[in-house]
A and B are shown apart, each in its own frame.
Chain A
Amino acid sequence: MAMGANITTRIATAVTVVVGVTSIVFVLIHLVPGDPVEVMLGEYASSADRAELRTMLGLDRPLLEQWLRFVGGVMRFDFGISFHTGRPVSELLGTHFAMTLLLAGAALMVAITIGLPLGVIAALNAGRGWDTAASLLAVLGMSVPNFVLGPFLIIVFAVKLNWLPIGGANGLAALVLPAITLGVSLAALLARMVRAALADVLTEPFVTAARARGLTEFTVIVGHACRNAALPVITVIGLQLGALLGGAVITEIVFGWPGLGQLAVESIHRRDYPVLQGCVLMISLSYVFVNTLTDFAYTMIDPRIELD
């Protein structure tokens, strides 16, 4: 019963947020200094051309009608026409979104393979050298911006050692450096969370009880402690998956990875506002989607938790 009510309120919240996000993105195009039509066509366009474009974009309609049209379009996955290519924005979004998802997924794998062991090692050696080293690494990892780490990695692994390509999206090798760049800060955050959660769990009576029953240290830690420490960690992974999508924007620019972020920044430089709107919407809506999903997963893993 409580579960059902939870789901309804959570979905209702998500829907309001989605409408809000869509409205803010809609407002963006009206923030363009001066007349967007003038910006798009340049100073020398004839007034007939301007009027035609204005009608085509629906900019001559009342604001409320424009907004309703925009929201209606978004619901049908219709984000308008790109000024630059003249093709539907949704086509562009489809191909680039897949690339961003691939990058974010790979970064998540990187984060888990680095972050989990680092956190476990730190927790098992709490207060000792390994712990200090791991926590320093974590601070470094969380502080290094993508646009600093990316070029550093390129200098070392692409320019000096020549092991991996500098950028682009040809083959799996090209995915390695961007994935590491994007994944490191999440790895650092995960290591911190795992350390805190596991250190807490290790003081619980059931761990002592498991040891007293003569179980091997490996079974105690992996089978008993880690399972109980998993919940906060899963939440962090879920919530940060959305942050990965945001961080992907800059990483994609560093490596020339043809994802949504690169498309967004290119569309800013080309003043291709419908494409920009589409990219921002796409990324934000996936963020909302993942967060809502994480909330559900959270209650399913641990039924003691109720969402408010």
Chain B
Amino acid sequence: MALSIRIALGILLAWLALAAFSPFVSSDPDEIDLAGILVGPSTIALMGHDDLGRSVATRITAGAGVSFAIAFAVVTCACLIGTAVGLYSGWKGGIIDLLIVRVMDVFLAFPGILLAIALAGILGPGIGNVVIALTVVGWVGFARLARAQTLSVKHRDHVSIAVALGTSPPRIVMRHILPLIAAPIIVEITFGLAGVIVAEAGLSFLGLGIQPPTASWGSMIRDGTRYMLMAPHLVIMPGCALMSVVVALSLIGDRLRDHWQIDRL
């Protein structure tokens, strides 16, 4: 295994462990140390304190938990909905398929995060609404992928034989098609997690996502931009945390794609 992949896996596992265990081990992320307001990294506080005197390190670990929880929730919902729609559409074909493809085209016509911003803005801030907004945007990618893959698999011999043997369509789709298209979907999940983590942070950065006092990397960066002159660590620390997770996930996704030889950009 290449060194870069080992490092990426290590970084990711470290973040997961931090996110999972920090609620039991670390101190309260809202705890205030008045003497530490805007003080930069030192031997006492590794990442310094923010404008309210809260420990940046503690808030980053707490933010990791929020970020991962939302990413898992959104990707699970989007993957289940999208894959189901894509499988159904690809398997059924005909007019239903055509209609579903048109609906997907419409969703794909909104560039990236724009629809999520509009939805989150209109539904109002909060974790639940962020999950809804990002799922509405995210399911299409899975649907398009699952549909294309289903189309390429459904004319294979073993599927025709299953049809001839009178196997029920749900069983064919679940037992004979889904396992064959799982690999590209897993790759998409990896990139999807990275995408959702960035999108959630983006929404929170705009003030449309996680609300204070809950810690979130996006809102930490947003708050930090007000103190860039005297306390640049408020932006740099959560920024680097976010980057490390996203780079690790992309490297792993790239590696999986090469491994399974899936050719898609």
Q: Which A residues lie at the B interface, using CB under 8 A?
A: 13, 16-18, 20-21, 24-25, 28-29, 31-33, 139-140, 142-148, 151-152, 154-155, 159, 193, 236, 242-243, 245-247, 249-250, 253-254, 264-265, 268-269, 273, 276, 280, 283-284, 287-288, 291
15 A-B residue pairs with CB within 8 Å: A31-B119, A139-B247, A144-B246, A147-B202, A147-B205, A148-B221, A148-B242, A151-B225, A152-B239, A236-B265, A246-B114, A253-B205, A268-B122, A283-B114, A287-B111
A21-B109, A28-B118, A246-B111 known, 10 other contacts, Cβ within 8 Å:
A31-B123, A143-B246, A145-B198, A145-B242, A154-B225, A247-B111, A249-B113, A268-B118, A280-B114, A291-B109
CB-CB nearest in chain B for A286: B111
Residue B117 interfacial (CB < 8 Å): yes
Q: Given contacts A142-B250, A145-B242, A152-B235, are A20 and B106 in contact (CB under 8 A)?
A: yes
- Is A280's CB under 8 angstroms from B115's CB? yes
CB-CB nearest in chain A for B207: A269
Q: Which residues of A contact B110 (CB under 8 A)?
A: 21, 24, 246, 280, 284, 287
- Is B114's CB under 8 angstroms from A155's CB? no
Q: Given contacts A140-B247, A159-B228, are A28 and B122 in contact (CB under 8 A)?
A: yes
* Size of interface on B: residues with Cβ below 8 Å to A: 46
Minimum Cβ distance to chain A for residue B51 (Å): 15
Inter-chain contact total with CB atoms closer than 8 Å: 138
Q: Which residues of A contact B102 (CB under 8 A)?
A: 16-17, 20
CB-CB nearest in chain A for B194: A143
Contact with A along B238-265 (1 / 0, CB 8 A): 0100110011001100100000000001
A146 to B109, CA, bound (A): 21
Q: Given contacts A143-B247, A151-B228, A155-B235, are A250 and B205 in contact (CB under 8 A)?
A: yes
Minimum Cβ distance to chain A for residue B253 (Å): 10
Residue B103 interfacial (CB < 8 Å): yes
A29 to B112, CA, bound (A): 20
A20 to B101, CA, bound (A): 12
